[in-house]
Structures are given as structure tokens and as C-alpha cells.
């Protein structure tokens, strides 16, 4: 996860809702499915997340989104986390053409590599990163997979202003088609994860931003 994502995770928790202002915090619509999800020592077969909770944290130019089954803590739940970098560029708020409606690359941040594999600088890191966690289903083993390839297309994207009152600016709507894997399965010398250890995951989500209460990180 990028530095912005880690910082945002400890900041103000902001919820997203599936309709206009006044809706219940965390409601939304969407699906996350795989015909064959592979997670070593835990799962090898069809998977349907059945998400029912949507939350996110805007931080500077980034927006971290959580799509989850149930509203429990991430550490004991199944879900998907997305980090959207440079929201203003994707929306076209900085004077450049909007990237809404255009498939965007989803992949690992450059700093995520297996032990012993050096970080390779790049001028064009993925605009979106995604992690899939099965901390409920696979609580006895490593239960996280990361998007190593694929695309996401935003039809609409929240502008990142927690005080926004315009419903149109609060809407986030997207579809994605990615391949997830455990980055530790990359060859020791670097390179892609073998195809047999990758899983195709598809989905969509749609909700409006709804500000919630700050998270309490302790009992």
C-alpha cells in the first residue's frame, strides 16, 4: 500500500452511501465474483463476496475504498480494498481531459516486491491498486491477494471533498476486471506470477459519499 494509503487508513473514516444525503452510512450496491479463486491452503473454487458495506477515506489526491461483506472490522472480514491515486486527474478537474469512462490500469504499487527483489522505479505507476482480503473465510492462513493485472472503469468518481453537498459530485460508480495473486509467488529473480496461481475477479459498485463518525482504533 502507498504512503498516502497507509496515512489515510489512520485518518478520518468516511462512509459511502448508495443514495443521496441522509441515507444509512455504509449502504451501497455492487458485486465481486470469481469463477475460480485460488488462495493457497484455503480456497480453490468459485467465490461470491456478496458485499453489503461500502466505506472510503479521501486523503489529499487519493481515495481509498472498502467493499466488504458486513460492517465488522477489516481484520475479521472478507472484502476488497482499492486505492485510487490522483482523483483530480481521473475526474479531469485539473484541466486535462477526463479519464471517466476509460479503462484504467490496476496493478501493484512499484514498492511492492517479493523479499530480495529490488524495487524498480517507474514513471507511470498504476493509477489504481486493489487488494482482496478473506480474513473471515481464511482466518487461519495468509488471506490477502493483490491485483497484479487488469482494468477498472469509473463512470463517476467522488471529488474527495468531505463537505460536498452536490449529490452528483458524491457519486462513485465503476466496473472492474482484474487478476489477483499473492505477490510472494513471483519468481525470485522477479517477473510475473505464474498464470496457474492467478485468479480472475470481476465486479462493479455504485454509491454516494456519506460522511460518518471518526473511527475509534481501540476498545
Please write the tens of the pLDDT for every residue from 51-109: 999 988 899 999 999 999 999 999 999 999 999 999 999 999 989 999 999 999 999 87
pTM, full prediction = 0.81
What is the pLDDT, as a whole number, of residue 192? Answer: 83
Whether 67 is in a domain gets the answer yes
Whether 92 is in a domain gets the answer yes
Q: Cα dihedral sign for 1, 76, 181, 67?
A: negative
Distance CA 30, CA 204 (A): 5
Which residues form the domain of 82? 3-210
Q: Inform me whether the pLDDT recorded for 24 exceeds 80.
A: no
Whether 215 is in a domain gets the answer no
Whether 216 is in a domain gets the answer no
Whether 134 is in a domain gets the answer yes
What is the pLDDT, as a whole number, of residue 4? Answer: 42
Cell of 214: 471518526
Ramachandran class of 92: left when φ > 0, alpha when ψ lies in -120 to 50, beta otherwise: left
Number of domains within the chain: 1
Cell of 99: 479519464
What is the rounded radius of gyration, in angstroms, for the C-alpha atoms of the chain?
17
Instruction: Supply the DSSP symbol for 22.
Output: T
Whether 217 is in a domain gets the answer no
Whether 187 is in a domain gets the answer yes
Q: Inform me whether the pLDDT recorded for 15 exceeds 50.
A: no
What is the pLDDT, as a whole number, of residue 83? Answer: 96
Q: What are phi and psi for residue 47, nearest 5 degrees?
A: -145, 135
Whether 19 is in a domain gets the answer yes
With vertex at residue 130, the alpha carbon angle to CA 76 and CA 115, rounded to the nearest 5 degrees, is: 85
Amino acid at each position: 500500500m502507498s504512503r498516502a494509503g497507509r496515512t489515510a487508513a489512520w485518518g478520518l473514516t468516511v462512509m459511502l452511501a448508495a443514495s443521496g444525503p441522509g441515507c444509512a452510512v455504509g449502504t451501497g450496491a455492487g458485486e465481486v465474483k470469481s469463477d475460480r479463486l485460488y488462495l493457497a491452503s484455503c480456497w480453490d473454487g468459485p467465490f461470491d463476496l456478496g458485499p453489503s458495506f461500502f466505506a472510503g477515506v479521501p486523503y489529499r489526491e487519493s481515495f481509498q475504498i472498502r467493499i466488504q461483506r458486513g460492517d465488522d472490522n477489516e481484520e475479521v472480514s472478507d472484502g476488497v480494498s482499492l486505492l485510487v491515486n490522483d482523483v483530480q486527474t481521473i475526474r479531469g478537474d485539473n484541466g486535462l481531459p477526463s479519464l471517466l469512462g476509460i479503462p484504467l490500469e490496476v496493478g501493484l504499487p512499484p514498492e511492492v516486491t517479493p523479499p530480495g527483489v529490488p524495487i524498480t522505479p517507474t514513471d507511470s505507476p498504476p493509477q489504481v491498486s486493489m487488494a482482496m482480503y478473506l480474513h473471515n473465510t481464511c482466518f487461519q492462513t495468509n488471506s490477502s491477494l493483490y491485483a497484479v493485472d487488469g482494468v477498472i472503469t469509473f463512470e463517476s468518481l467522488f471529488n474527495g471533498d468531505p463537505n460536498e453537498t452536490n449529490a452528483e459530485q458524491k457519486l462513485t460508480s465503476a466496473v472492474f476486471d482484474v487478476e489477483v495473486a499473492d505477490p510472494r509467488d513471483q519468481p525470485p529473480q522477479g517477473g510475473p506470477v505464474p498464470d496457474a496461481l492467478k485468479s480472475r475477479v470481476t465486479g462493479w459498485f455504485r454509491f454516494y459519499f456519506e460522511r460518518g463518525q471518526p473511527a475509534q482504533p481501540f476498545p
